[in-house]
Amino acid sequence: MTDSEETLANLSREERCFEPPADLAADANVKADAYDAAKADREGFWATQADRLDWATKWDQVLDWSNPPFAKWFVGGTLNASYNCVDRHVEAGRGDKVAIHWVGEPVTDGVADTRDITYAELKDEVSRAANALTALGIEAGDRVAIYMPMIPEAIIAMLACARIGAPHTVVFGGFSADALASRIEDCGAMVVITADGGYRRGTASPLKSAVDEARTKTDRVETVLVVRRTGQEVAWDDSVDVWWHDAVDTASTEHAPQAFDAEHPLYVMYTSGTTGKPKGILHTTGGYLTGSAYTHNAVFDLKPDDVYWCTADIGWVTGHSYIVYGPLANGVTQVVYEGTPDAPERGRWWHIIQDYKVTLFYTAPTAIRSFMKQGREIPDKFDLSSLRILGSVGESINPEAYIWYRTVIGGSGVDGRETPVVDTWWQTETGSVMISPLPGVTAGKPGSAMTAIPGIDADVVDDDGHSVPNGYGGYLVITSPWPSMLRTIWGDDDRYAETYWSRFRKEGFYFAGDGAKKDDDGDIWLLGRVDDVMNVSGHRLSTTEIESALVSHPKVAESAVVGANDPDTGQAVVAYVILREEFEAAAAADNAGIIKELSDHVRKEIGPIAKPRQIMIVPELPKTRSGKIMRRLLRDVAEGRTVGDTQTLADSSIMDLISAGQTTSTDD
């Protein structure tokens, strides 16, 4: 392979590597032999994982792949997802175990608004809600939209839907009425479960009013079930609106869960929309629950006494797989937090970890980088020594952010402690983690998701679908079907086949849309979206590598890199950079100086080809509401176009700020 035909360049080198801690390795849930076992008999391996669940009827066939890309897993099996997440733990004598330590955002006179819910209590609540939904006329197969803050009722609502076989579609509470209406319309939801409002950044922000507005844009909705959370004023329409406390609190706690087919739809989740219009991803019951429960146990090495906390919102797939279905199927004790990391103070998350002695923590690189920006003095004030495994998901974690997470949050290196970081690669579409270290088996390399977990076959291939050799980059593909895979895009089988299975149709590979490389050991490094790859003088450069080089500079907290049209090189690298707070003032006084410093740094770290044509210091970056950087908008700015669709952007004023800054920035 010559340089000019490369699919994606491999520029950066990272030599640091952390072996699994010996005690963790000795007692790990999943050991190295699992990789071989899964390779030798993949379907047998998944059958063993499915046995983690309680099935009402055992399946006859593990996988039916006779009509690709439409898979059926655990054919002929029946089960109830809610029974698996709740009832069976109570029946096994663990009814008194806390399922959810819920923490509300408000703190009054130093006392937080909290609620502990045991598995027995959860069973009663879910049963009541299931009875209430049935009384409202919801039947198996009917869709229910959930538009709620992070309160226990959100989880109860999801499980109640699953219990009666009504697929839910959870819409993130920060989305607008328009976004809500389009999702209701797309999946045909007849009921919306919401709340009067929820607490975000110290204020009670309304939700019910957005549902009212959404109802003016779609006539699907027959009932709106409303939880009273904040007590704020809401408009009321007696013909559709029902209070949760009237319908649910009065319902019976007796509810016999009915078993559904393994392929019964469990939920529709819309992707976060980094690349464009969100897609309604359908997940079904048996395979999905198998995948989420197995990976949660394996990747977090879950033990009965662990206290787990995933900071995602239930409006994203991470909240579905790693707050609701995986952890609860595994009978975990977990923290669920309502608000933002900085309310009422910047150390709120660390305070919660200290209070509940959290052992397993799962968050996103965007959060880690924002804490890096603020400085380590904030987490250093808290006792975080209970933590034993740290997870990352959503974007590539830059090596520097990984090290910061491992040492500042994980306390690695202090008093002989080692707290591994697991960088988990997966998507809404994959349903559960595909590529990740196993903390007791795999060494950790900062910035690498390492290898596909046992049972998953992934590869990096070139344009022709051939596996690239170690040391090369290309397209990340999954080469065999897996239980928690999406079954289709809701209502659009053609778009499903086209979007994910047409790029490597001949080979039968699932194409994820991400670029990746294999290092000299064959370990996998995610390199960003293939749509974002830059072509500079015939070299195809990844955004992630250059961003990570910038973040490795001690003054930088976060960065986004895009390719802009260039008369000399085809495309040129344009970088947007957020500085760490302690360096902001000095940089403002000498803009040209800092820009030269950063530019030289990239040149030194990864080579002259990657040197940015332009670097801009910005106060914020455009992100989706799930915290992912939206590079396509920055490309519009870099190329002087009108900025494209900003519907999925968390804060649209950021684009105005960046566009305005564009004209005054200094070229180096």
Q: Do 437 and 453 meet the contact criterion of CB atoms below 8 Å apart?
A: no
**Spatial separation of the C-alpha atoms in residues 476 and 459, rounded to whole Å:** 6
Residue 548 contact partner, candidates Mg ion, ligand ATP, none, CB within 5 to 8 A by sort of partner: none
Minimum CB distance to ligand ATP, residue 658 (Å): 20
- Rounded to a whole number of angstroms, the minimum distance from the CB of residue 560 to Mg ion is 17
Judged by CB under 6 A, which stretch of 85-93, 97-105, 338-346, 419-427 contacts ligand ATP? 419-427
424 binds, among Mg ion, ligand ATP, none (CB under 5 to 8 A by kind): ligand ATP
DSSP H helical ranges for 332-486? 348-356, 365-374, 377-380, 399-404
Kindly state whether residue 292 participates in binding ligand ATP, applying the rule CB under 6 A: no
Q: Which residues in 301-360 contact ligand ATP (CB under 6 A)?
A: 317
**Residue 118 is a binding residue for ligand ATP (CB under 6 A):** no
18/356 with CB nearer ligand ATP: 18
523 binds, among Mg ion, ligand ATP, none (CB under 5 to 8 A by kind): none
Does 69 sit behind a cis peptide bond, omega within 30 degrees of 0 on the bond before it? Answer: yes
Would you state the structure tokens that stand for residue 188, as one six-digit string? Answer: 């045909």
How buried is residue 37: exposed, middle or buried, by Cβ count under 10 Å (0-12/13-18/19+)? middle
Q: Which member of 311, 427, 442, 542 binds ligand ATP (CB under 6 A)? A: 427
Q: How far is the CB of 512 from Mg ion (least distance, A)?
A: 8
Q: Smallest distance, Å, CB 401 to ligand ATP? A: 12
374 is a contact residue toward ligand ATP (CB under 6 A): no
**Using CB under 6 A as the criterion, what x/- string covers residues 599-628 for binding ligand ATP?**
---------------------------x-x
Count H helices, E strands: the chain?
A: 23, 30
If the CB atoms of residues 419 and 428 are measured against ligand ATP, the closer one turns out to be: 428
Q: Is 285 in the site for ligand ATP (CB under 6 A)?
A: no
- Nearer Cβ to ligand ATP (208/635): 635
Q: What is the dihedral of CA 48, 50, 52, 53, to 10 degrees?
A: -150
- The answer to the question of residue 194 lying near ligand ATP (CB under 6 A) is no
- Which tokens sit at 308? 């787990």
Q: How far is the CB of 199 from ligand ATP (least distance, A)?
A: 24
Which one of Mg ion, ligand ATP, none is in contact with 124 (Cβ closer than 5 to 8 A by kind)?
Answer: none
Residues with Cβ within 8 Å of 259's Cβ and at least 6 positions away in sequence, in order, are 56, 57, 78, 79, 80
Tell me if 205 sits within 8 A of 168, measured CB to CB: no
Question: Hey, which bits of 161-277 come out as E strands?
Answer: 168-170, 189-195, 197-200, 203-206, 223-227, 241-243, 260-261, 265-270
499 binds ligand ATP (CB under 6 A): no
- DSSP conformational letter for 54: P
Q: How far is residue 223's CA from residue 190's CA, in Å, rounded to a whole number?
A: 7
Site for ligand ATP in 446-465 (CB under 6 A): 449
* Binding partner of residue 448 among Mg ion, ligand ATP, none, CB cut-off 5 to 8 Å per kind: none
Whichever of 260 and 267 has its CB closer to ligand ATP, that residue is 267
Surface-to-core class of residue 219, CB atoms within 10 Å of its CB (0-12 exposed, 13-18 middle, 19+ buried): exposed
Residue from the set 425, 504, 509, 576 that interacts with ligand ATP by CB under 6 A: 425
Tell me the closest approach of the beta carbon of residue 573 to ligand ATP, in angstroms.
Answer: 20
Q: How many CA atoms lie within 13 Å of 6's alpha carbon, on the beta-carbon side?
A: 24
Q: Among residues 87, 142, 261, 514, which is the contact residue for ligand ATP, using CB under 6 A? A: 514
Residue placing its CB nearer to ligand ATP in the complex, 330 or 648: 648
Ramachandran region, residue 331 (left: φ > 0; alpha: ψ -120 to 50; beta: rest): left
The smaller minimum CB distance to Mg ion, of residues 277 and 641, is found at 277
Residue closest to 609 by CA, chosen among 561, 537, 545, 668: 537
- Of residues 152 and 420, the one with the C-beta less far from ligand ATP: 420
Q: How far apart are CA 98 and CA 120, in angstroms?
A: 9
Among 526, 541, 546, 633, binds ligand ATP (CB under 6 A): 526
Quote the CA–CA distance of 252 and 4 in Å, as a whole number.
69
Max Cα distance, the chain (Å):
72
With CB cut-offs between 5 and 8 Å by kind, which of Mg ion, ligand ATP, none does residue 423 bind? ligand ATP
Q: Closest CB to Mg ion among 271 and 419?
A: 271
For 346, phi then psi, to 5°, come to: -65, -25
DSSP alpha helix (H) spans, 480-525? 493-501
Contact with ligand ATP (CB under 6 A): which of 214, 387, 512, 573?
A: 512
Minimum gap (Å) between residue 41 Cβ and ligand ATP: 28
Query: Shortest gap between Cβ of 115 and ligand ATP (angstroms)?
Result: 29
- Contact track, ligand ATP, 379-418, x by CB under 6 A: --------------xxxx----------------------
Contact map string, positions 268 to 287, toward Mg ion, x by CB under 5 A:
---x----------------
Q: Are 347 and 378 in contact (CB under 8 A)?
A: yes
Q: Tokens standing for 601? A: 């740094």
For helices 42-50 and 33-40, angle between their N-to-C axes, nearest 10 degrees: 110
Q: Which does 514 bind (CB under 5 to 8 A by kind): ligand ATP, Mg ion, none?
A: ligand ATP
Closest approach of Cβ 318 to ligand ATP, in Å?
A: 8
Structure tokens belonging to residue 323 = 């707050």
Region for 422 from its dihedrals, namely left if φ exceeds 0, alpha if ψ lies in -120 to 50, beta otherwise: beta
Closest CA to 483 of 45, 39, 34: 45
**Type of residue found at 408:** V
Contact region with ligand ATP (CB under 6 A), list: 205-213, 271-279, 296-304, 376-384: 271-279
Please name the amino acid found at residue 65. W
Residue of 424, 432, 548, 552 interacting with ligand ATP (CB under 6 A): 424
Residue 321 C-beta: closest distance to ligand ATP, Å: 11
Closest CB to ligand ATP among residues 166, 441? 441
Note whether 182 binds ligand ATP by CB under 6 A. no
Sites of contact with Mg ion (CB under 5 A): 271
Sites of contact with ligand ATP (CB under 6 A): 271-275, 278, 317, 393-396, 423-425, 427-428, 449, 512-514, 526, 529, 626, 628
